Amino acid sequence: MSTPKPLGWLFSFYRDGFKNMTIGKTLWLIVAIKLFIMFFVLKIFFFPNFLKTNFKDDESRSNHVRQELIDKAH
């Protein structure tokens, strides 16, 4: 009997573990829903694209970022 490769063993370990879960699947679904809300829904409402709305082209955006970085360094 040969020893399985580390990545293959790790994959089969997690595959078998998730396959035999009962309540864990529900908990992972809750985690996925919370991550979706945090990264997609909240971003739309609370983190607007400041540079896109206040500057018309890439050059003016980059100049603003460069100036802000220089000002913060001093």
Kindly give the confidence (pLDDT) of every residue in the chain, 74 residues in length, as a single tens digit, with 9 standing for 90 and above.
455 677 788 888 888 888 888 888 888 899 999 999 999 888 888 888 888 889 999 999 999 999 999 988 77
At residue 49, the pLDDT reads: 84
Q: For residue 30, is it left (φ>0), alpha (ψ between -120 and 50) or beta?
A: alpha
Q: Measured at the alpha carbon of residue 46, what is the angle toward residues 43 and 51, in degrees to the nearest 5?
A: 80
CA-closest candidate to residue 50, choices 38, 61, 66, 63:
61
Question: Does residue 34 fall inside a structural domain?
Answer: yes
Domain count, the chain: 1
What's the number of CA atoms in the CB half-sphere (13 Å) around residue 22? 0
What is the domain range of residue 18? 6-73
- Domain membership of residue 1 (yes or no) is no
- Per-residue confidence (pLDDT) for residue 48, from 0 to 100: 82
- pLDDT on residue 55: 92
- The structure tokens listed for 39 are 């990264």
Work out the burial of residue 47: count CB atoms within 10 Å of its CB; fewer than 13 is exposed, 13-18 middle, 19 or more buried: exposed
